[in-house]
Amino acid sequence: MLMNLFKFKGGVKPPSNKLQSNHLPIAQAPMPSRLVVPLHQSIGGTPRPIVAAGDHVLKGQMIGEADGWISAAVHAPTSGTVVEVAMHVRPHPSGLDSLCVVIEPDGKDEWIARTPIDHKAAAPADVFHHLQQCGIVGLGGAGFPAHGKLTPSTGVPMDELIINGAECEPFITCDDLLMRERADEVVRGIAVFRDLLQPKKVLIGIEDNKPEAIAAMRAAVDAQKEPFSVVAVPTLYPAGGAKQLIRVLTGKEVPGSMRSTADMGVQVFNVGTAYSAWRAVAHGEPLISRILTITGNVHAPRNYEVLIGTPMDELLALAQPHPDTDGILMGGPMMGFLVPNPQVPVVKTTNCLIAHDDRLFPPKAPEMPCIRCGACARACPHELQPFEMYWFSRAKNFGKTQEYNIFDCIECGCCSYVCPSRIPLVQYFRFAKSEIWAREREKNASDQAKTRFEFKQYREEREKADKAEKLAKAAAAQAAKKAAEAAAAAAESGAAPAADTAASPAVTADAPAATVNPEKEAKRATIEAAMARAKAQREAVQPKNTENLSADQQKAAADIEARRIAAHLIEPEPATPASEKPE
Amino acid sequence: MFAPAPFLLKDVSVSQVMIQVCVALIPGIAAYASLVGPAILVQLVIATLAALLAEAIMLKLRGKPLALFLTDGSAIVTAWLIALTFPPLAPWWLVVTGTVFAVVVAKHLYGGLGQNPFNPAMVAFAVCIVAFPALMSQWPSVGLQLGLIDQMNIILGWAPRVDTLTGATPLDAMKTALKLGEGSFDVSTLLANQDIYGNFAGRGWEWVAAGYLLGGLWLWHRKLITWHVPLAFVASLSLISGALWLYNPSQFASPLFHLLSGGAMLGAFFIATDPVSGCTTPRGKLIFGAGCGLLAYIIRVFGGYPDGVAFAVLLMNLSAPVIDLLTQPPVFGMKDKA
């Protein structure tokens, strides 16, 4: 079918390096000695662990429960024993630890009972729940939970569902092989997405350097008589970026500020996501393995189906890395990163491991000053002015970087790739972005602190007023009692010493008969009325959060207060009402 | 341990960019040398040595790595542009003064490579033409056939500077004749009767201009420059000269004369395209190039200097930051809003 394709500006053509790993079929990676499954593998809330050390788990058993709507469950990749639930380094450039479930396989690879779902008969909400429970997230790299993107945007008709098989990063061939070998199931998965989103068109974009994948996908689409278009898109990095692929296939430009492409009536899923969604729907299999490419400085580059949680060094050994390998790159060479140590596990978004050495990736030449040649601006697929953003990032003039739309930057690396001065531009932009976020957070924190302080002031004031009110009542009661006693004594003695009653401090309504000081009485009443008015006013303005507390909450509040006092964050409450009683 | 992504880098560096600019100058230099003799090659060597020495001293003083910046090639490009814009028989110290001023003041005192607000070579030209107007307007007489030794003797000051050796450039001669003649000369008789002129511009200068054009087109083909600045420069110079030429062909030379005489081609492809001191946005480059062409013509025809390219470029350098600021292209996805 002929289709009018659009172009995006910029882009680069790095050497593709795909031929090394795309000629052998996908192999099954052997069972590793242990599996380290990080709980946080997708965008959104970190799943809560629901197993403990010593538990026996089955293959596919949920070990981490989705935390909130944007979150997806995590499962045991094989049967075995949970050794620990502890912090381990996860594959992230930060090198920070995160909570992982470590499983020692028992070698039986015993499945749990799998429950497929008939997505056509079931309510969409049930399908979303099923996908979330199966841990289906975007396998293209970002790892956005699939059910979140499948929920239609209200008010915007879905025009196009785009399936991303572009795979524009050099070296990576896992999507290529997936489409060649499992096109049938990929297309079935796409049909599930189509049924949920009801788009007007389904477009499958594949870079034209993958003719076999294009042929296989076309054959599968024809065999299933689906009205999907398999479109060969020109090979140009980053054609596989969601916004670039949308542009190429539909002509629509999704602005950087727009969080969801669904707001423009278009949604994009990776081919791998479609495949795993189909396995989840038709076979009840949660996402416990994925296909990834092992390539780079290795003797035998190839694609493997790998269990999530497999340590990377064990995998790399399969491809026989050359002895001068000095690191493992996760992802492609344009946007990937060197993992903090070789033992980090494979996660759902690990699409490629590249053995790093100086021959394939020569150390960078020293950074030279920017000569404003504009090569970066010509290469930028988002039509930014990277050299201006660089200048202002360097000068820490972050406001200016935002004026130059730094948040539209997708960090694809095209600018750094073409820079003759070897300036690591993307790094400068990440720095600027993180600084801006940090400042935003600081500002929010100080805003919150201000609110807290104001509330504390208000609370202290209110407590003082409450105290005064109580005191007044108590004093009045006391006075009434005294007056009554005095009256009784006077009655007993037969005398009524006026001086005594006149000296009594105050009287209350309980004993109006004994009142002998109208002046003081009037004053007290006025004060009480004023306090009542003030109280009512405050209550009208601000609801009290210290009222109607449960016992637990009160205890928690008291604990917090105690800790604060212990930490000398605040002065202890000046005094308790009892000790303050003036009498 | 390692630099971050991207791990692949295009095989390109600042020195490669600069070397390609030098390579692109070669056809023009060849035509120039065949026109005025080997003196120009001597001047190129003098300017290059002076620039590298000045650069080395400045780098040393500023505590910058010598090897890295000396090999970036930027000083050589500046030196070559100075040598090509100065009179070929100018005394050696004039070229050295210009080059040292360009490198020390116009480049390093502003922060070095990438920081200069003005094109260093054009600063050198402007400073020298203001300070040494006579020396800067003495060009070899047409038909003067001196050997390398004779020319070197003149440049190095070992032979006397004789007035008959030098003359005006075609642009200068035309302007002087038209101004002094007060209407008694017209352009076509001037072109026909003086051997300084060829068919439609200075004799032999057409070939020099064609050489620069060829090199410039190669730079464009190599994507080291974009079409915006040269095209806008040539278009604006052609438009204004064409309009006045049509208005009064006896008093105003044709667009071809203006394009092929003086520094128009060198300016359009090699000087106004300097990215550091020029505009960088596509629309900005168009404005920048058009401004250069227009100002060059005005200075040439109505101003006090024989050629206006240097001052035109410097004036547009002044305006480049604000032009860039006002011509920001809309980013991806924001075209409707902008």
- Interhelix angle B282-302/B228-247, nearest 10 degrees: 40
For testing contact with chain B, the best of A417, A423, A433 (most B CBs within 10 A): A417
Is it true that the peptide bond before B120 is cis, omega within 30 degrees of 0?
Answer: no
- Mean pLDDT value of segment B108-124: 94
Question: Lowest-pLDDT range, A309-313, A351-355, B164-168, B298-302?
Answer: B164-168
| Per-residue model confidence (pLDDT) at position B260 | 86
Over 50: is that where the pLDDT of A501 sits?
Answer: no
Write out residues 346-405 of A within 8 Å (CB-CB) of B.
356, 361, 363-366, 368-375, 377-378, 381-385, 387, 404-405
- Band of pLDDT at residue B37, cut at 50, 70 and 90: confident
| Per-residue model confidence (pLDDT) at position A105 | 94
For testing contact with chain B, the best of A17, A380, A416, A427 (most B CBs within 10 A): A416
Query: Which chain A residues contact residue B115 at CB under 8 A?
Result: 369
A351: exposed, middle or buried (Cβ count in 10 Å: 0-12, 13-18, 19+): buried
For testing contact with chain A, the best of B332, B336, B337 (most A CBs within 10 A): B332
For residue A405, give the chain B residue with the closest CA: B331
Q: Which residues contact A47 (CB under 8 A, 6 or more apart)?
A: A39, A40, A64, A65, A66, A67, A71, A72, A73, A74
Size of interface A-B (CB pairs under 8 A): 140
Query: Which chain A residues contact residue B3 at CB under 8 A?
Result: 363-364, 424, 427
Residue A470: HSE in the Cβ half-sphere, 13 Å Cα cutoff = 12
Which residue is it, tokens 């970002």? A142
Q: Give just the sign of the alpha carbon dihedral B318, B323, B326, B329.
A: negative
- Band of pLDDT at residue B193, cut at 50, 70 and 90: low
Say what the alpha-carbon torsion angle A182, A185, A188, A190 is, to the nearest 10 degrees: -60
- Mean pLDDT value of segment A539-564: 73
A572: exposed, middle or buried (Cβ count in 10 Å: 0-12, 13-18, 19+): exposed
| Per-residue model confidence (pLDDT) at position B182 | 56
Query: Which chain A residues contact residue B329 at CB under 8 A?
Result: 383, 385
pLDDT in tens, B270-304: 999 999 999 999 999 999 999 999 999 999 888 88
Distance CA A50, CA A63 (A): 5
Q: Is A52 part of the contact surface with chain B (CB cutoff 8 Å)? A: no
State percent of chain B over pLDDT 70.
85
Over 70: is that where the pLDDT of B183 sits?
Answer: no
From the list B4, B10, B335, the residue facing A337 with the nearest CB is B4
- Mean pLDDT value of segment B188-208: 66
Q: Give just the sign of the alpha carbon dihedral A306, A312, A314, A320.
A: positive
CB neighbours of residue A553 within 10 Å: 12
pLDDT in tens, A108-166: 889 999 999 998 889 989 999 999 999 999 998 788 999 888 887 777 888 999 999 99
| Per-residue model confidence (pLDDT) at position B2 | 53
Is A255's CB within 8 Å of B276's CB?
A: no
Over 70: is that where the pLDDT of A451 sits?
Answer: yes
Distance CA A402, CA A437 (A): 12
pLDDT in tens, A455-474: 999 999 999 999 999 999 99
pLDDT in tens, A223-275: 999 999 999 999 999 999 999 999 999 998 888 777 677 788 899 999 999 99
Structure-token pair, residue A185: 């199931």
Residue A224 and residue A189 in contact, taking contact as beta carbons nearer than 8 Å: no
| Per-residue model confidence (pLDDT) at position B230 | 97
Is B114's CB within 8 Å of A417's CB?
A: no
Is A243's CB within 8 Å of B333's CB?
A: yes
Distance CA B285, CA B29 (A): 26
Instruction: Report helix, strand and coil shares of chain A as percent, to nearest 5.
Output: 40, 15, 45
| Per-residue model confidence (pLDDT) at position A583 | 42
| Per-residue model confidence (pLDDT) at position A516 | 57
Is B2's CB within 8 Å of A327's CB?
A: yes
Distance CA A71, CA A54 (A): 26
Cα of A398 to nearest chain B Cα, Å:
17
Is B333's CB within 8 Å of A253's CB?
A: yes
**A229 phi, psi to nearest 5 deg:** -105, 125
- Mean pLDDT value of segment B67-86: 93
Write out residues 142-161 of A within 8 Å (CB-CB) of B.
none
Is A371's CB within 8 Å of B13's CB?
A: no
Which residue is it, tokens 């915006």? B228
Average pLDDT of chain A? 87
- Closest-CA residue to B209 (of B279, B277, B258): B258
Cα of A425 to nearest chain B Cα, Å:
10
DSSP at A350? -
Distance CA B307, CA B296 (A): 7
Is A14's CB within 8 Å of B10's CB?
A: yes
Q: Beta strand pairing status for A266-270 and A302-307?
A: unpaired
Is A253's CB within 8 Å of B332's CB?
A: yes
| Per-residue model confidence (pLDDT) at position B1 | 45
State percent of chain A over pLDDT 90.
61
CB neighbours of residue B263 within 10 Å: 27
- Band of pLDDT at residue B108, cut at 50, 70 and 90: very high
Instruction: State the DSSP H helix or E strand holding residue A85, giving kind and residue range, or none if neither.
Output: strand A80-89
Structure-token pair, residue B95: 């070229």
Query: Which chain A residues contact residue B332 at CB under 8 A?
Result: 8-9, 243, 247, 253, 255-256, 381-384, 408
Average pLDDT of chain B? 87
pLDDT in tens, B251-261: 888 888 888 88
Structure-token pair, residue A402: 């935002």
Is A255's CB within 8 Å of B332's CB?
A: yes
State percent of chain B over pLDDT 90.
57
SS3 labels along chain B:
CCCCCCCCCCCCCHHHHHHHHHHHHHHHHHHHHHHHCCHHHHHHHHHHHHHHHHHHHHHHHHCCCHHHHHCCCHHHHHHHHHHHHCCCCCCHHHHHHHHHHHHHHHHHHHCCCCCCCCCHHHHHHHHHHHHCHHHHCCEECCCCCCCHHHHHHHHHCCCCCCHHHEECCHHHHHHHHHHHHCCCCCHHHHHHHCCCECCCCECCHHHHHHHHHHHHHHHHHCCCCCCHHHHHHHHHHHHHHHHHHHHCCCCCCCHHHHHHCCCHHHHHHHHCCCCCCCCCCHHHHHHHHHHHHHHHHHHHHHCCCCCCHHHHHHHHHHHHHHHHHHCCCCCCCCCCCC
- Mean pLDDT value of segment A422-443: 91
Q: Is B17 part of the contact surface with chain A (CB cutoff 8 Å)? A: yes
Is A382's CB within 8 Å of B332's CB?
A: yes
**A468 phi, psi to nearest 5 deg:** -60, -40
| Per-residue model confidence (pLDDT) at position A556 | 81
| Per-residue model confidence (pLDDT) at position A546 | 63
Q: Which residues contact B208 (CB under 8 A, 6 or more apart)?
A: B28, B31, B32, B35, B265
Q: Which residues contact A443 (CB under 8 A, 6 or more apart)?
A: none
Query: Which chain B residues contact residue A370 at CB under 8 A?
Result: 114
For residue A384, give the chain B residue with the closest CA: B331
| Per-residue model confidence (pLDDT) at position A579 | 43
Over 90: is that where the pLDDT of A83 sits?
Answer: yes
Q: Which residue did the predictor score with more confidence, B241 or A554?
A: B241
Residue A357 and residue A326 in contact, taking contact as beta carbons nearer than 8 Å: yes
- Band of pLDDT at residue B337, cut at 50, 70 and 90: very low
The beta strand positions in A215-359, using DSSP E, are 229-233, 266-270, 289-296, 302-307, 327-330, 337-338, 352-356
pLDDT in tens, A370-380: 999 999 999 99
Distance CA B196, CA B88 (A): 16
Is B2's CB within 8 Å of A381's CB?
A: no
With a cut of 0.90, is the ipTM above it?
A: no
Cα of A404 to nearest chain B Cα, Å:
9
Residue B323 and residue A376 in contact, taking contact as beta carbons nearer than 8 Å: no
In this prediction the pTM is 0.80
| Per-residue model confidence (pLDDT) at position B156 | 79
| Per-residue model confidence (pLDDT) at position A509 | 47
Write out residues 91-110 of B within 8 Å (CB-CB) of A.
none
Over 80: is that where the pLDDT of A395 sits?
Answer: yes
pLDDT in tens, B141-152: 665 667 777 777
| Per-residue model confidence (pLDDT) at position B243 | 95
Write out residues 415-454 of A within 8 Å (CB-CB) of B.
416-422, 424, 426-427
Angle at B253 between CA B251 and CA B258, to 5 degrees: 150
| Per-residue model confidence (pLDDT) at position A581 | 43
Is B7's CB within 8 Å of A408's CB?
A: no
Over 70: is that where the pLDDT of A381 sits?
Answer: yes
Residue A143 and residue A116 in contact, taking contact as beta carbons nearer than 8 Å: no
Structure-token pair, residue B58: 């400045």
